[in-house]
Chain A
Amino acid sequence: MDLDWTTFILEIVNFLVLVWILKRFLYRPVLEVIARRRTQIEEALSEARDTRQQADTLKEQFEGRLAGWETEREAAHAKLLEEVAIERQHLMAAVAKAMDEEKAKRKAIVERQQQDWLRTAAEQGVAQGQAFASRLLERLAGPELEAGLFGLLLQDLAQLPEQQRKDLAAAAGREARLDVLSAYPLAAEQRNELTAALQAVLGRELPAGFGEQPDLVAGFLITVGPWVMHANLRDELRFFGE
């Protein structure tokens, strides 16, 4: 239990020296490395927070962009539907127009066919009428009919309009001759009467020649220069048929 003053004082000094040694070689380095690590951890945490914030920002941006894309997609879809509807309307209109045109074409074809049928029927009717009239007139042809036609010829020449008379006179020329063909032989009286009627129409005398042509069936074929007058059944029936 003795108190050794030398030991007491030296122990105090020793302990203070030990405090300095440990502070210099142990506490300070270890605390510094702990502080450095804490700083690094804080920096890493700060970087992680920054990274997380950036990630959140990017996430928000991408979500916004996705929402924009969704809106854009819906708008494009709506526009597409609208365009499809418009195109459908155009196509329907085109189809309707094509159908109308086709109908009109069909209708025109049908009408033309009907007209063709009608014309064919009319031609057939005319041809049949011509054949019937030809057969009938051929059976009726004879001197009596010839005399009737001669009367009609004289009547027509007498009623010829003034302008047509002038045209005939101009067309006959100075050196023209008068040729008359008949289905039956004309009597001298008839020849004189006809010559006089023609000279009255032309306004001058021309040399006249008469002949017979049985295929005229009945009637006359009068030629004055370039002018030909068909006053016979054959040509009348042919004109009727045309």
Chain B
Amino acid sequence: MEKAAILFHLGPLAISSIVVTTWGIMAFLGLFSWLATRHLSTDPGPLQAMLEGSISAIEAAIKAVLPQGGEKVLPFIATLWFYIVTANLVGLIPGLGSPTAHLSVTTGLALLVFLSVHWFGIRNEGLIAYLRHYLSPSPILLPFHIISELTRTVALAVRLFGNMMSLEMAALLLLLVAGLLVPIPLLMLHIIEALVQAYIFGMLALIYVAGAMQSRTEINHEKERSET
């Protein structure tokens, strides 16, 4: 995967095409949200029904994993899903590339997930109680907990990056080798893969956050298991 092109400089910051694409996605999502939610009513039209259905489905998925306090993480998790789906699908538009096919983007998202896990965990459980779960069930496992935190974050970043990058590269190779229309089935697979990868990334982020927010409950369960 070639390096993203630098389109312009904003002071000392070199603005790449990835960042511009992300701004475009932000503008699209923000404008769409503003336009779609201007005239909401209790008697919804088709667009409002679609929006309510999507957000209700996300809310139900979060509640299934995190029965209490799900409303706190809904904006973060739902934005992950919406952004990653849009970013994945943007690559289908000729001339544009998926931001998620770049390691800088997926690493940034994975770092946000990593930080949000601790943020929500400390907010929900308190600092001491949250940090104590790293010593559970035994302090010997502390290094393994830390390694687990780091590796799963790296895995998040690399999984999304690798899948999206490989799909784009495979489509490019097919286009070069076989001709103009041959990559179309692969593009269909791209759509499915875009949805699946967004779901996996958001779901894993939700599970990590939920695990941090329910760390005290997990400790209690482990104690009960050890006693029995």
Q: Which residues of A contact B (CB under 8 A)?
A: 1-12, 14-19, 21-23, 25-27, 29-34, 36-37, 40
- From B13, B51, B99, A11 is in contact (CB under 8 Å) with B99
- Whether B40 and A2, one on each chain, are in contact in the complex, defined by CB atoms closer than 8 angstroms, is no
A11 touches B41 (CB 8 A): no
Docked Cα-Cα span, A22 to B86, in Å, equals 14
- Assess the B103–A26 pair: CB atoms within 8 A: no
Interface positions of B from 115 to 144, Cβ below 8 Å from A: none
> Interface size bucket, B side?
35 or more
Chain A residue with Cβ nearest B17: A7
Q: A15–B1 contact, CB under 8 A?
A: no
**Which chain A residues border B19 with CB–CB below 8 Å?**
6-7, 10-11, 14
B104 is an interface residue with CB less than 8 A from chain A: yes
Majority secondary structure, B binding face: helix
A-B interface pairs (CB < 8 A), number:
118
Q: Which A residues touch B42, using CB under 8 A?
A: 33, 36-37, 40
Q: Top 6 closest A-B pairs, CB basis? A: A26-B33, A11-B108, A25-B33, A7-B104, A29-B37, A23-B75
Bound Cα distance A59, B44 (Å) = 37
Task: Write out, one digit per residue, whether chain B residues 46-75 have a CB within 8 A of any chain A CB (1) or not (0).
Answer: 001001100110010000000000000011
In the complex, the answer to whether A26 meets B26 with C-beta atoms within 8 Å is: no
Given A30-B51, A33-B41, A18:B83 Cβ within 8 A: yes
Q: Give Cα A37–Cα B51 distance, bound, in whole angstroms.
A: 15
Chain B residue with minimal CB distance to A25?
B33
Give every chain B residue within 8 A of A40 (Cβ-Cβ).
42
**Given A7-B102, A30-B51, CB of A18 within 8 Å of CB of B108:** no
Closest to A18 in B: B26
- B109 interface residue (CB < 8 Å to A): yes
Mask for B69-89, Cβ within 8 A of A = 1, else 0?
000001110110011000000
> What are 21 A-B interface contacts by the 8 Å CB criterion?
A4-B18, A5-B104, A7-B18, A7-B19, A7-B102, A7-B105, A11-B99, A11-B108, A15-B83, A18-B25, A18-B26, A19-B79, A21-B26, A22-B75, A26-B36, A26-B51, A27-B74, A27-B75, A27-B78, A30-B48, A33-B52
